[in-house]
Amino acid sequence: MPRASLSPHRRARTARFLGVVAASAVLITGCADTPAAGPDLTISAPPTTIGPSRIDDGVLRLSVHLPTTGAGARLGVPMSDAVRVAVSAINAAGGVLGEPVEVDFVDEATSVDLRATIQAGADAIIGPASSTKALAVLNQAVEAGVLVCSPSATAQLLDRFPDANLFYRTVGSDSVQMSALARTAARTGSGSITIVHLDDPYGRGLAESLATAVGARASLSVSEIIPFSGDDSDLSDEATEALSNGARIIAVIGDTDDGGRMLSAIDAALAANPDAATPFIVVNDSLRTATDVIAGLSNRLRATIVGVAPRAIVTAVESPVGAFATNAYDCTMLIALAALQAGSDAPRSIANQMASVSAGGRICTTFAECADLIDQGLQIDYNGLSGNVDLSSTGDLSKAWFREFRFDDTGREYIFNETGFEAP
């Protein structure tokens, strides 16, 4: 059905949403509890007065805030181990400013307060893993003037957090993930896309970013945007609506549970209309773990689903191992190299060099190699274990790596684009 034949109610809802997208496009383009998922969050601005500069005492002190107990430990423990590997390599090569790097570990699962870390004299924090925790502690870090580098917090609210340029991350933002998802959708060759999203701040934010990314592609257009509530037990109306407007692609944006329920509802709507064309389905990374739901889908629908997720594991790297472990390793290396280039362990001085050591100079891959070039007065370009970690002046990756995944008949994801691709 062409867009002109949408019902007045549907046209009004889509127009209102696209109006929000247009109004926020400049903000989006200008600037979990699970790390890969965007939580239901709001930004609380830090105090306008930044705390005094940290003392430059010649010793680089790192504090690692990652989960080592509870459900997050499966990610946090490998990332913590990766920091240990990086610090060992740094200290074996002579340390920073002639002194060994000092490091302590705080269990993110039990602490969201930085006061003890700040009082202990930490110059930089590696973590948190969770976007929720990152947004909870950034105010304290900014007020104290402490640098923060997260290996895995992807929430797009962090894109525009007023962090005084003290927050960095070595993983792509969810907003960039939506650019990657638009690229994946464009590869289907189908010109129109319906966006079905969880109606909460997380889902609305991702849907806005996806609509903006689709609008930047000449081969794609948004047919309709359909919100759905996580509180509704019956999603059949929204699923039927998504199938009725003639769009050949449906993007399902949601968390594991509610996004999975929408996929089931779309499958049921297709079963009720066996002559309907099966759309392509594109999904965000949270749907990777909807294993049981996806295993129960018809082969007809499951075969069309393609998802996009940050590249958490670099298969060519033997150590450190674990999801986002290479990202944690690279946070550590970038901080140490920035301190070395700055000639100071003061957080602000380190922050001023983070982007500089990540791009634009002579390529180096180990701390010893990079340190030697810095000692020669040369500009370096640290190529990390997680990829080319070129940081922008805002603290985000200039380009982030993502992988496309599909599902087998047991509902488990498998990567079919092994090399990944860059976005936007």
Both tokens assigned to 361:
């100079």
Nearest to 117 by CA among 143, 89, 155, 99: 143
Residue 120 has pLDDT above 90, yes or no: yes
Lowest mean pLDDT among 36-45, 97-106, 220-229: 36-45
CA distance 296 to 95: 53
Give the pLDDT of residue 420: 62
Residues 407 and 278 both lie in one domain: yes
42 found inside a domain:
no
Residues 162 and 241 both lie in one domain: no
Residues 290 and 362 both lie in one domain: no
- pLDDT greater at residue 362 or residue 316: 362
Mean pLDDT of 400-415: 94
13 found inside a domain:
no
Task: Let me know: does 68 contact 187? Beta carbons within 8 Å.
Answer: no
Mean pLDDT of 6-27: 38
CA distance 286 to 211: 18
Contacts of 133 (CB under 8 A, 6+ apart): 33, 65, 108, 112, 127, 153
- Domains of the chain: total: 2
Residue 152 has pLDDT above 80, yes or no: yes
Task: State the pLDDT confidence band at 423, using cuts at 50, 70 and 90.
Answer: low
Residues 193 and 269 both lie in one domain: yes
Task: State the pLDDT confidence band at 421, using cuts at 50, 70 and 90.
Answer: low
Give the pLDDT of residue 111: 80
247 found inside a domain:
yes
95 found inside a domain:
yes
Residues 408 and 265 both lie in one domain: yes
- pLDDT greater at residue 103 or residue 18: 103
CA angle 76, 306, 299 (to 5 degrees): 115
Residues 409 and 276 both lie in one domain: yes
Give the pLDDT of residue 306: 97
Nearest to 168 by CA among 340, 334, 343, 344: 334
150 found inside a domain:
yes
CA distance 195 to 204: 10
Residues 185 and 160 both lie in one domain: no
Residue 419 has pLDDT above 70, yes or no: no
Residues 201 and 189 both lie in one domain: yes
DSSP 95-142: -BTTBPPEEEEEETTT----HHHHHTT-SEEE--SSHHHHHHHHHHHH
DSSP 164-178: TT-EEESS--HHHHH
Both tokens assigned to 106:
């705080």
284 found inside a domain:
yes
State the CATH number of the domain containing residue 277.
Answer: 3.40.50.2300
Q: Supply the range of the domain harboring residue 112.
A: 61-171+324-386
Residues 266 and 292 both lie in one domain: yes
What's the full length of the chain, in residues? Answer: 424
Name the maximum alpha-carbon separation found in the chain: 72
Give the pLDDT of residue 56: 80
Residues 366 and 250 both lie in one domain: no
Residues 202 and 124 both lie in one domain: no
Q: Name beta bridge partners: 102.
A: 61
Residues 335 and 297 both lie in one domain: no
